[in-house]
Structure formats: structure tokens, C-alpha cells
Chain A
Amino acid sequence: MTPLLQVKGIEKLYGARIGCADVTFDLYPGEVMGIVGESGSGKSTLLNCLAGHLVPDAGQVIFDTRANGPVDTVTMSEPERRMLSRTDWAFVHQHVRDGLRMSVSAGGNIGERLMAVGDRRYGDIRDKAIDWLGRVEIEAARVDDRPTAFSGGMQQRLQIARNLVTGPRLVFMDEPTGGLDVSVQARLLDLLRGLVREMGLSAIIVTHDLAVVRLLADRLMVMKDGHVVEAGLTDQVLDDPQHAYTQLLVSSVLQV
């Protein structure tokens, strides 16, 4: 099986400081990988390098495209990369304001991504938008409301619907459950798990919540000071951490 994403020696420097360095891994179709680490450890920098929001100083991000097979997205032309980020890729931002258009209706937010890939019939777009609102458990009656009228949890679910409507194969998520209250978080986790299973999605999830990765991620990467200090099966890394930093991280979690 060809990996969906092959990451080779990614490095990003901010002046003399290391954002992230020497990151290498493969992600296969249907796999969910978590990236954990304290703030400032380089998780978000890495995610942004992978998703093409930042240009890495070294390394390759090879994606298995539908048309041409594995292609390095770092050296790909800007229009090609933009097309990829509208079709096969999706990015769920921690702050919904970065991922939604707050002045456009919920239906418009979902429809916009469909139009970007060439959908033109208003009726179809509206039907698909309503269908996706239902999948993320937002009432169809809210389709014409703006996200500003939604609660935080609903906004996050709308962002997910907007991202998944074009049937991407790889989803990048930056703290998708951050800032949500626990009951909404649980519902979102269940939703994400179902979508991953039904659509065969692969996902890379950056979070600092170990409970979230345990439930959602198959594999886990632990970062510290820009480097990956440990990687493996999620329950192996959490139950039998090998690196000093991971041991500290796991033992610092408060028991509820």
C-alpha cells in the first residue's frame, strides 16, 4: 500500500530558533495520527508546514494525489497546491474565525467550498449544504443563519462540515476540541470518529489533550523543542512511554 502522505526531514527555522526539525513519518489511508506536546513545542508549525501554510526550510511533503500519484507538495506550484487544499485536503482551525466566514450564512460557508471545486447549480449546493448540516447535527432550519448566531460548539461543527463537504482524503486539525466545553467535545469526538470510519479519512490532529488522542488517534507523535522525541501506537506511547519527556507528560495528567 502507498502511504497517503510521506513526510521527509521537515525543518522550519524562525531565524536562529528551531520551529521544528528533522520530522519524518508516513501516514497511510484511514489512519489518524495525533501530535502532542506542550505549547511552543512546534506542533502547529509542523502542521502548517504539512498543510502548505508555511514553507519549510528543508524537507519534502509527498502526497499521493488522485491524478498523478505521489507528488512533493512543497515544490508544487501555488495554484496546484491551492487546488489540493480545496479538494483532497481540509484544515480545521482551532479558532473558528480562521476557518469560517462569519458574515456569510451557514449554507453559504459550506457552499463556498463546493463552488470552489466547480459546483454551480444552486439547488444542488443548497441540498448538499443541508445534508452536511444534518451530519454535524445542526438543524436544517439554521441554514440561512450566520455563524455569529451559533454557539462555539456549533461553529466548530460547521467548520468541520465546510471542510468535509468536498470529500477530502486528508484532514489537518489544530486543536479541534480546544475551547469547547466537555459535553460538546464528546459529541464532536464521536462525530469525528464516525466520519473517519465512514469516509476512510486520514487525519493529523494537533492537540495537547491526551484523553482526546487516546480516543481518536491510532498513532501518536510526541514533540518537544521542535523535535519528535517519541512516536508509536497511541496506547503504547501513553501506557509505556519510553522518553523522559513523554513520561513526564503522561504522569502530569490529572485524574478525574
Chain B
Amino acid sequence: MIELINVSKSFTLHNQGGAVIPVMEGASLKVEPGECVALTGASGAGKSTLMRVIYGNYLAASGQVLVGGLDVAKAEPRQILTLRRKTLGYVSQFLRVVPRVPTLDVVAEPLLAVGCDRTEALEKSAELLKRLNIPERLWTLSPTTFSGGEQQRVNIACGFAHDYPAMLLDEPTASLDVQNRETVLSLIEEAKGRGAAIVGIFHDLDARERVCDREVNVADFTPELAA
């Protein structure tokens, strides 16, 4: 479902003397449907970078990034947009929403985008918010006013609203209490159960052991520093 072949990535900082910083080299990875792969490595090793290369908001310098048969590294914007709408979900660490839109609508949005009926989308949205312990009195408010943990859970609800066949999870259990962490882990297990291919970053070791089938250390893809 998700396959990376010999991917490299570098940043060119034009406004800082044109410095070129290679950050990833020879990254290869394959995730089958129903499988969850954890990215590991120290902070700054390039876990999130790798994830963004898969999502397409970082441009790969070379190599192939195949998601559901589409090479994200070379695809047209509209192909990537369709891929993101239907196939590839992403739970980032930050919630980014249009201000003043009610939480219930925020979570229903990915469903409406794939052409789901509005009533159905709102029902599914309500169900997820309930599971993630967002009190019902907050559903009509915008999540921009919520606490960090609540925002994180709204973000997760958005990511799990539509049944994406491929998912990217950037620290989905960070800043959650025990009970909510448990809910998120079971959501991940359910997604695996229906055949989703998942790439995740988990600093939470227990969570990683519970839901992940394999680990990939991104330090293996870090370019050797030229002495």
C-alpha cells in the first residue's frame, strides 16, 4: 500500500547563503495493508520529514514514493489531492482549522469531502467525538478554543472519520490521559483490522509495542556527515 524506494530529501536555504542540507538518503520502506510500521530514531533524525515526504507536503529530491499505486514524488497536485481525500489520511500533531467552525462540522468535513451524506457524516462525527470523550456541550464550539489534549483528540477524530486505506500518524497518543490513549489505540487496531496500512511515530513505548508490527529506524537513512 505504501512503498518508498531509494528516496532522498535535502533542503536548500537560498536566503542563508544557499546552504544545502541533505537530510535523508536511500530511504526504502514497504507497508502492506493491515500492517503498522513505527518510525523510530532520535529527535531530529527525520521521522516527521519522512512522513511529510509520504504525504506530499515535502518534495522528495529523488526516488519513488508510492501510495496506492501513485508516485507522490512526481504526481500532479490534483492527483495528490484526490489521494489525500480518498486514500491517505494524516493525523498531525497540530490541529489546523478554519476558525469559528463547530467541532462537529470539523470532524464531518473529511466525510463530506468524499461525498458522504450530511446527516450520516454528522452521526459518524458525533460517534467519534463521544468515543474520544469530547463533552457534547463543546461540539458546537470551534476547537480553536480547546485545551491541547482536546485539540489532539479532535485531530484524531478527523483522521479516523473516513476509512482511509493508508494512514500516517504523528504521535497520536501524545498528551493523552490513560483512558483516551486506550481509545486511540483501539481505533488504530480497528483501522488495521479493516486493512489500513499505517506508518506511525510513537514515543510511547508501550503503545508502539502494542499496535506496531515492525520498526524502521530512520537513522539508517540519515546521510553521513561530510567530515
19 A-B pairs within 8 Å (CB atoms) are namely A31-B78, A183-B100, A186-B98, A186-B99, A189-B98, A189-B99, A190-B101, A218-B78, A219-B77, A219-B78, A232-B59, A233-B57, A236-B77, A239-B57, A240-B11, A240-B59, A242-B12, A243-B14, A244-B15
- Residues on B lying within 8 angstroms of A by beta carbon are 11-15, 52, 56-59, 77-78, 80-81, 96, 98-101, 112-113
Contact in complex: A240, B58 (CB < 8 Å) = yes
Which A168-220 residues sit within 8 Å CB-CB of chain B?
A: 182-183, 186-187, 189-190, 193, 197, 214-215, 218-219
Q: When A186-B98, A239-B58 are in contact, do A232 and B14 touch as well, CB less than 8 Å?
A: no
Cα separation A183 to B52 with both chains bound (whole Å) = 31
Q: Which of B13, B57, B98, B99 contacts A236 (CB under 8 A)?
A: B57
Contact, CB under 8 Å: B15 / A197: no
| A248 contacts partner chain B, Cβ-Cβ < 8 Å | yes
Contacts of B57 in A (CB 8 A): 233, 235-236, 239-240
The interface residues of chain B lying within 8 Å CB-to-CB of A24 are none
- A244 contacts B14, CB within 8 Å? yes
Q: Which size bracket describes the interface of A in this complex?
A: 20 to 34
Please, how many angstroms separate the alpha-carbon atoms of A233 and B79 in the complex?
10
CB-CB under 8 A for A215 and B78, given A236-B58, A251-B15: no
| CA of A239 to CA of B90, assembled, Å | 15
Q: Which residues of A, 210-256, contact B by the 8 Å Cβ criterion?
A: 214-215, 218-219, 232-233, 235-236, 239-240, 242-244, 247-248, 251
Q: Which residues of B contact A197 (CB under 8 A)?
A: 112-113
Residue of B nearest to A216 (CB): B98
Nearest Cβ on chain A to B50's Cβ, whole angstroms? 13
CA distance A190 to B77 in the complex (A): 23
Besides the known contacts A190-B98, A236-B56, A242-B12, 14 further A-B residue pairs in the complex with CB atoms under 8 A apart: A28-B78, A183-B99, A197-B112, A197-B113, A214-B96, A215-B96, A218-B78, A233-B57, A233-B81, A235-B57, A239-B58, A244-B14, A247-B15, A248-B14
Query: Closest CB of chain B to A236's CB: distance in Å?
Result: 5
The answer to whether A232 and B77 have CB atoms under 8 Å apart is yes
A244 to B12, CA, bound (A): 9
Q: Within 8 Å CB of B56, what residues of A?
A: 233, 236
Which residue of chain B lies nearest to A28 when distances are taken between CB atoms in the complex?
Answer: B78
**Whole-angstrom CA separation of A240 from B77 in the bound complex:** 14
Q: Are B15 and A248 in contact (CB under 8 A)?
A: yes
Distance to closest chain B CB from A242 (angstroms): 7
Q: Which residue of A lies closest to B144 (CB)?
A: A186
Contact between A242 and B59 (Cβ–Cβ < 8 Å)?
A: yes
Q: How far is the CA of A197 from the CA of B105 in the complex (A)?
A: 13
A218 touches B77 (CB 8 A): yes
Q: Which 8 A-B pairs have the closest CB atoms?
A: A244-B14, A186-B99, A235-B57, A240-B58, A239-B57, A233-B77, A186-B100, A219-B77
C-alpha spacing A218/B58, complex, angstroms: 15
CB distance from A193 to the nearest CB of B (A): 6
| Cβ of A182 to closest chain B Cβ, rounded Å | 8
Provide the bound-state CA to CA distance between A190 and B182, in Å.
33
Cα–Cα distance between A43 and B81 once the two chains are bound (Å)? 24
Residues of A within 8 A of B78 (CB): 28, 31, 218-219
Cβ distance B109 to chain A, nearest Cβ, rounded Å: 9
Docked-complex contact B98 and A215, CB < 8 angstroms: yes
The docked-state distance in angstroms from the alpha carbon of A251 to that of B13 is 11
B99 — nearest CB in chain A belongs to which residue?
Answer: A186
Q: Specify which of B57, B96, B100 lies most central, judged by the most chain A CB atoms within 10 Å of its CB.
A: B57
Kindly state the separation between the CA atoms of A192 and B113 in the bound complex, as whole angstroms. Answer: 15
Instruction: Report chain B residues within 8 Å CB of A240.
Output: 11, 52, 57-59
In the bound complex, do residue A247 and residue B14 qualify as a contact, i.e. CB atoms below 8 Å apart? yes
Q: Given the complex of chains A and B, what is the CA–CA distance between A30 and B211 in angstroms?
A: 38
Q: Please indicate the chain A residues that have their CB under 8 angstroms from the CB of B100 in the complex.
A: 183, 186-187, 190
A55 CA to B85 CA, complexed, in Å: 37
Q: Closest CB of chain B to A212's CB: distance in Å?
A: 10
> CA of A232 to CA of B56 in the docked complex: distance in angstroms?
10
Listed residue (A186, A219, A233, A235) with the most chain B CB atoms within 10 angstroms of its CB:
A233
